[in-house]
């Protein structure tokens, strides 16, 4: 009786197969293309806000609603999280798994802090009668800031999944490529938030 053919190596170790077939450059290129589509999405939401920011329908405007010190705290959480993620990538490139997970955990904690502050701000505005249905200005504000917040939330979910991958398989080439893609996404969200802080909050309060 002929012997059973051996199981192809692909089924033994998917990550190992990926490492031999692709160094991650194609994946990273594809992710850059995805980020360009996100730029178009955010550009449309920013444009809508720019058109509607003066349409308060007799309700409160940015000067009455926003507290720059509070928003500066949100901004600090997100910007520091960009630094901590950078440290996680340095540790990953040096194959320091424990340090990578610690820095990712700190990044996640800062992201949670940002989300808590943002949701608290939304809750206070709605409690004051300044919800998204109050005026076109507030509708565009909640849409813009909420869209960014949803992206941050998705980034944190992705981060938890990658931390589980690293715990299970270690810092394989495939996992480093995944961490690199999330790094691009996380830094992109920081850049978008700087735009939100400048256009929505800073210019709104200073106007």
In a domain, 179, yes or no: yes
The number of CA neighbours under 13 Å toward the Cβ of 2 is 3
What total of structural domains would you count in the chain? 1
Window from 20-34, 81-95, 124-138, 161-175 with minimum mean pLDDT: 20-34
Q: How confident is the model at residue 20 (pLDDT cuts 50, 70, 90)?
A: very low
What's the rounded Cα separation, in Å, for the pair 88 and 101?
7
Whether 96 is in a domain gets the answer yes
Q: Are 197 and 67 contacting, i.e. CB atoms less than 8 angstroms apart?
A: no
**134 located within any domain:** yes
- Specify if 17 maps to a domain: no
- Confirm whether 75 is domain-assigned: yes
Q: How many percent of the chain have pLDDT more than 70?
A: 88
3-state secondary structure 127-156: HCCCCCCCCHHHHHHHHHHHHHHHHHHHHH
Q: How would you class 159 by CB atoms within 10 Å of its CB: exposed for 0-12, middle for 13-18, buried for 19 or more?
A: buried
Residue 179 has pLDDT above 50, yes or no: yes
pLDDT one-digit tens code per residue, 73-114: 999 999 999 999 999 999 999 999 999 999 999 999 999 999
142 Cα distance to chain centroid: 17
Write out pLDDT tens, residues 118-148.
Answer: 999 999 999 999 999 999 999 999 999 999 9
Residue 94 forms part of a structural domain: yes
Range of the domain at 144: 26-54+67-206
Residue 111 belongs to domain with CATH number: 1.20.120.80
1 inside domain: no
Burial degree of 190 (CB within 10 A; 0-12, 13-18, 19+): middle
CB 189 within 8 A of CB 148: yes
Least confident range from 121-130, 162-171, 198-207: namely 198-207
């Amino acid at each position: 009786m002929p012997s059973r053919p051996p199981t192809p190596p692909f089924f033994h170790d998917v990550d190992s197969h990926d490492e031999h077939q692709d160094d991650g450059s194609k994946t990273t290129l594809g992710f850059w293309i995805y980020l360009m589509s996100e730029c178009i999405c955010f550009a449309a939401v920013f444009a809508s806000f720019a058109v509607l920011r003066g349409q308060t329908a007799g309700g409160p405007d940015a000067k009455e609603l926003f507290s720059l010190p509070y928003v500066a705290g949100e901004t600090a959480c997100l910007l520091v999280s960009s630094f901590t993620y950078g440290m996680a990538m340095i540790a990953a490139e040096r194959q320091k798994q424990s340090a990578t997970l610690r820095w990712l955990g700190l990044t996640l904690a800062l992201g949670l802090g940002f989300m808590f502050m943002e949701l608290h701000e939304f809750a206070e505005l709605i409690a004051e009668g300044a919800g998204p249905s109050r005026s076109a200005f507030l509708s565009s504000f909640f849409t813009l800031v909420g869209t960014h917040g949803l992206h941050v939330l998705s980034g944190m979910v992705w981060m938890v999944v990658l931390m589980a991958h690293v715990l299970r398989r270690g810092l394989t080439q495939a996992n480093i490529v995944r961490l690199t893609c999330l790094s691009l996404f996380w830094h992109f969200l920081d850049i978008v938030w700087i735009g939100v802080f400048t256009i929505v909050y800073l210019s709104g309060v200073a106007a």
